[in-house]
Amino acid sequence: MLHQSQYAAEKSRRDDAAKQKRAPRDDRAGSRVALPQTPWVRLGDKAPDFTQDSTQGPIHLYEWMGDSWAVLFSHPADFTPVCTTELGMVARLKPEFETRNVKVIGLSVDPLFRHDMWAHDIAQTQGVELNFPLLADADRKVAQLYDMIHPNAHATETVRSVFIIDPKKTVRLILTYPAETGRNFDELLRVIDSLQLADDHKVATPANWKPGEDVVILPSVSNTEAAELFPRGYKELKPYLRVTPQPNFEPPGQEASRA
């Protein structure tokens, strides 16, 4: 485990560099880390592909994803309290992601040996093994590709970015959280449910929707098509606002009552 004083020294080294508005020396590489400008990644873009070291060996994103969805998320640094709880939560929720054909992959700009040491702390404090890969992006290759370093928030550490990538490798969600706030990973599952419903059933999900609640029919679907697609019917509140029960959802007990 990294001793508190070692962590404090590392943190102070980074903060000093940040104050001087320059990237700190990367002691492993023996050279200053450059942060060149890269084009933004936006919704609908092809997710930038990469190969990078991880706690589960080198990962080539597209190959690793195969036909799955992916959640790629960054956190500011290893051995930090909020990040520790986040990784524990994602490890606990892994079966929920798997049910939805989603692979999860974390990232910070710390080197692999620190990830490996931190994994012990995560298991010890969160009661769950780190059961998904954590990219060791010490050269900031992936962080730059995905614009995960916001220099006015912190010169060198990644912010809490999230990218949901679909099996066609299209970016479907981008979220950016500050270092101070741990993410709500149930919300990511909710978004994945919504995106998968939209792809499969030509519907969208209203504000604060939860699985099982009514959905709305995409404006591109005509009323004639809607009548075929949604045999349980729909309510037309306005020509552009048509509400229908969630297509792939049977309310509990309904099947039994029909039998």
Signed CA dihedral, 66, 72, 77, 78: sign only: negative
Mind giving me the DSSP string for 13-78? Answer: HHHHHHHTTSPPEETTTTEEPP----PPP-TTSBPPP-EE-BBTB-EEHHHHHTTSEEEEEE-S-S
To ligand BEZ, the closest distance from the beta carbon of 86 in angstroms equals: 7
Total residues in contact with ligand BEZ, by rule CB under 6 A: 8
Cα-based torsion angle of the residue sequence 92, 75, 140, 25 in order, rounded to the nearest 10 degrees: -130
What's the Rg (C-alpha) of the chain?
22
Identify which of residues 61 and 134 has a Cβ nearer to ligand BEZ in the complex. Answer: 134
Signed CA dihedral, 199, 202, 205, 206: sign only: positive
From 59, 65, 70, 83, the catalytic residue: 83
Of the candidate residues 33, 53, 76, 134, the single one contacting ligand BEZ (CB under 6 A): 76
Of the candidate residues 17, 93, 117, 179, the single one contacting ligand BEZ (CB under 6 A): 179
Q: Rule CB under 6 A: say whether 81 interacts with ligand BEZ.
A: yes
Identify which of residues 53 and 110 has a Cβ nearer to ligand BEZ in the complex. Answer: 110
Identify which of residues 160 and 201 has a Cβ nearer to ligand BEZ in the complex. Answer: 160
Confirm whether 94 is a catalytic residue: no
β-pairing verdict for 134-136 and 102-108: parallel
Burial 226-256 (b: 16+ CB within 10 A, else e): beebbeeebeeeeeeebbbbbbeeeeeeeee
Q: Rule CB under 6 A: say whether 11 interacts with ligand BEZ.
A: no
Of the candidate residues 34, 36, 99, 180, the single one contacting ligand BEZ (CB under 6 A): 180
Phi, psi at residue 178, to the nearest 5°?
-75, 160
Of the candidate residues 56, 80, 131, 196, the single one contacting ligand BEZ (CB under 6 A): 80
Residue 161, helix vs strand vs coil: strand
Identify which of residues 86 and 193 has a Cβ nearer to ligand BEZ in the complex. Answer: 86
Structure tokens at 44: 């609908």
Stretch that binds ligand BEZ, among 32-40, 50-58, 80-88, 111-119 (CB under 6 A): 80-88
- How many residues are given for the chain? 259
To ligand BEZ, the closest distance from the beta carbon of 79 in angstroms equals: 9
Structure tokens at 224: 């004639």
To ligand BEZ, the closest distance from the beta carbon of 18 in angstroms equals: 12
Q: By CB under 6 A, what part of segment 135-174 binds ligand BEZ? A: none
Identify which of residues 15 and 214 has a Cβ nearer to ligand BEZ in the complex. Answer: 15
Q: Using alpha carbons, select from 117, 107, 122 the residue that is nearest to residue 157.
A: 107
Of the candidate residues 65, 70, 72, 83, the single one contacting ligand BEZ (CB under 6 A): 83
Active-site positions read 83
Q: Which residues bind ligand BEZ (CB under 6 A)?
A: 76-77, 80-83, 179-180
